[in-house]
Structure 1
Amino acid sequence: MRILVFANTPAHVHLYRHAVDRLEEAGHDVLVLTREYACTTDLLEFFGLPYRRYGEHDVTSSSKSTLARELGGQIGSIVRETIRFRPDVVFGRGPYAAVAGTVARAPVVLVLDDEPGDFNHTVSRPFADCILSPRVTRRDLGDDHYTFDGFKECAYLHPEVFEPDRAVREYLGVGPDEPYALVRFNALDALHDAGLEGFTRNQRHDLIERLSEHATVFVSDEGGEMDLRDLPARPYDLHPALIHDAMAEASLLIADTGTMVTEAGLLGTPALRYRGTDDHEYGEFQELERVGLVEQFDAYDGVRDRGLELLADDDATGRWERRRREYVGDLANLTDLLVDVAETQGRLGELDRSSWAALQPSSR
């Protein structure tokens, strides 16, 4: 079987990487189509996944018109690569997967999370043969939409899949018991980020200075524009493939981006999300708040003060780890599900009993 997977962001690489490995081990031909964006191709190289580029994403502009023009120029490359590979099934999201599935006349499986019903969903939904999303998304996308008990991050952070590398402290240059905080600043340059604002420059500086009084601070700046030379912080400069190991050992993560907050919560690390101007209510964050793994804040002072409070609390990481053990182990192992869906070419009725039991029609 020939399986085409779209990985347009670093998060997509992690979502599919274990499934790609297992499908290749089972004798299937797999191709990952990607674009040059952030560390996406670095991750594909690190994990040894078979990929080809269809274009690149300009991080200097996040306007919808610019992103639409960019997509228009990438369609031709996607069509050529799809015709060359001749997939039997396509995995992805948005117009990318829709175009490939149409050209190949192959089933399209969309794996979605709880982003707003924007351009990506509007374009791709009519072309989907199967839509999978976390049960907490609270949306009904039709008869072909099925939900699972968990998060898309369960494909790579489920306890059955993820084993942290404790040597990451040595790589970071921190002691065995030295507390450290990870701060992630969003570039806000994706299509679904258009018009949103996160931490301001002054807030970034204040947050770093205050946190550094209690812990070593590492900054992951997605936009790559921060100058840390006069600030009490170190750049997070390990290979991006090690970020989950670093999060698992951290005492705290604060971010104005969603994916890393979800990841830290699922790893049992205290995780705080600053919403900035994003007023959309995401089902994933509401669920993780409910079980005490994530906290969200509308005001900057609130997220800063809560971060300082957690760093001063010696039992905070222990509480988060207990909550993780009680909650995350019972969620679906999404990699198992993705492999089974691929091998049935999106025909969910042919899934084995355990995979079928993990799914529920969204309209129910």
Structure 2
Amino acid sequence: MRILVDVSHPAHVHLFRNAIGSLRDRGHAVRVVSRRKDVTTDLLDAYGIDHTPLSRKRPGVAGVAREWVGRGARLLRVAAGFRPDVVLSRLSPTAAYVARAVGAPNVVFHDTEQAGLLDRVTTPAASVVCTPAEFGRDAGDRQIRYEGYHELAYLHPARFEPNPTRLRDAGVDPDEPFAVVRLVEWSAHHDGDAAGFSPAVVRDLVERLADRGAVYVSAEGDLPAALAEHEAPVAPDAMHDLLAFADCYVGDSGTMAAEAALLATPTVRYDPYDATLANFETFADRGLVESVDDERAAADRAVALADDPEAGGRWRRRRRRLLAQKVDVTAFAVELVEEVGGA
């Protein structure tokens, strides 16, 4: 088969990278198109995945509209030349409508109930909408629910084993206590007026965590100058190794909170939305993520976990019980793509 994969965000690289490799190993031709956003193209390069950048992130509503119109036109040209049997994407309107235009089914992975407009314009054009079993919306007859999460496409034990050597090579001692802090830009279409951690709270949080061990800060966009000495020293493709050995994770990124939880790292997620997301309700019920809607309370809770020598053991037991009920999402995706494409 010929499979076209649309990747427009760093999280999509991780979601699909193992499936891309597996599909190629099984004899299929796979074409990847990308987007210059954050470290998306850097990650694809690091994993040795050939790709064609079609657009770059632009600021503001007008910039987004301009980008996606241009991206759609370029994607249509690529698809018309490649003639895919299946288009695989993560809730991408351009992929959904280009797939329909060239007569190919679009397999969409979706896990965010608050996606809003993006959801409303994409799912009606999709052929299959894959969601975690707990997903809180009904996407109709095209929806397939599976026992897993996007993050288990690359962090399932069958796909990932933390590598301490990569940390040591970057100057991080995996045997010493350290915390990871993640800050996102809050400029996505669905963020609205919400904002992440304020600079004052971040400075206080980092100072308090630094009294207990090293602190590594990962930021979407430029890291504030006051935090430059705490910039995570690892390559983007080693971030999961860093998370796996951390004693605590705290941040305003939902994706990285889920990753940390599934790596058994004590996790605090600052959630300014105070929104209902089924994945995080499950993580909360299982004791894997503590979501807090007050930034100072989130910082306090992270410091408390960093002080708790028993926290890591609790998280490892909880993770083990959760994974016993979940699937290897990459294997699921590969099987589904082949089924939809008629392989």
- TM superposition score normalised by structure 2: 0.95
Q: CA deviation at 1:274?
A: 0.5
Residue 273 of structure 1 corresponds to 269
Q: CA deviation at 1:117?
A: 4.6
Q: CA deviation at 1:116?
A: 1.5
Residue 357 of structure 1 corresponds to none
1:288 aligns with 2:272: no
Q: CA deviation at 1:175?
A: 3.1
CA distance in 1 between partners of 2:192 and 2:33 (Å):
24
> What is the CA deviation profile of residues 261-300 of structure 1, one whole-angstrom value per residue up to 9, with x for unaligned ones?
0000001001110112x23211111100100110011112
CA distance 1:117–1:200, shift in 2 (3 Å): closer
CA distance 1:125–1:176, shift in 2 (3 Å): closer
Q: CA deviation at 1:66?
A: 3.1
Residue 356 of structure 1 corresponds to none
Alignment of 1:44-83 (within 5 A): 44-58=44-58, 61=59, 63-83=60-80
Residue 152 of structure 2 corresponds to 154
CA distance in 2 between partners of 1:245 and 1:115 (Å):
29
Secondary structure of the residue aligned to 2:95 is: helix
Secondary structure of the residue aligned to 1:131 is: strand
CA distance in 2 between partners of 1:107 and 1:307 (Å):
44
Secondary structure of the residue aligned to 1:237 is: coil
Q: Which letter does structure 1 place at the counterpart of 2:281? A: Q
CA distance in 1 between partners of 2:154 and 2:205 (Å):
30
> What is the CA deviation profile of residues 23-45 of structure 1, one whole-angstrom value per residue up to 9, with x for unaligned ones?
10111000111111111111111
Asked if the contact 1:94/1:123 (under 8 Å) is kept, the reply is no
Residue 237 of structure 1 corresponds to 233
CA distance in 2 between partners of 1:171 and 1:293 (Å):
29
1:26 aligns with 2:22: no
Among 243, 246, 254, which residue is 2:242 paired with? 246
Q: CA deviation at 1:346?
A: 5.5
> What is the CA deviation profile of residues 108-166 of structure 1, one whole-angstrom value per residue up to 9, with x for unaligned ones?
11100123151211111221111100011121111110111111111111112111112
Question: Gaps (5+ residues) in structure 2?
Answer: none
CA distance 1:286–1:18, shift in 2 (3 Å): same
Q: CA deviation at 1:257?
A: 1.1
CA distance in 2 between partners of 1:173 and 1:50 (Å):
30
Alignment of 1:45-194 (within 5 A): 45-58=45-58, 61=59, 63-92=60-89, 93-194=91-192
CA distance in 2 between partners of 1:217 and 1:228 (Å):
13
Asked if the contact 1:30/1:50 (under 8 Å) is kept, the reply is no
Asked if the contact 2:251/2:257 (under 8 Å) is kept, the reply is yes
Asked if the contact 2:75/2:95 (under 8 Å) is kept, the reply is no
Among 235, 255, 258, which residue is 2:254 paired with? 258
Secondary structure of the residue aligned to 1:263 is: helix
Residue 343 of structure 1 corresponds to 338
Secondary structure of the residue aligned to 2:145 is: strand
CA distance in 1 between partners of 2:51 and 2:184 (Å):
26
Residue 9 of structure 1 corresponds to 9
CA distance 1:143–1:176, shift in 2 (3 Å): closer
1:308 aligns with 2:303: yes
Secondary structure of the residue aligned to 1:192 is: coil
Regions of 4+ moved over 4 Å: none
Moved more, 134-143 or 164-173: 164-173
Secondary structure of the residue aligned to 2:111 is: coil
CA distance 1:162–1:184, shift in 2 (3 Å): same
- TM superposition score normalised by structure 1: 0.90
Secondary structure of the residue aligned to 2:54 is: strand
Residue 321 of structure 2 corresponds to 326
Question: Matched residues, percent identical?
Answer: 37
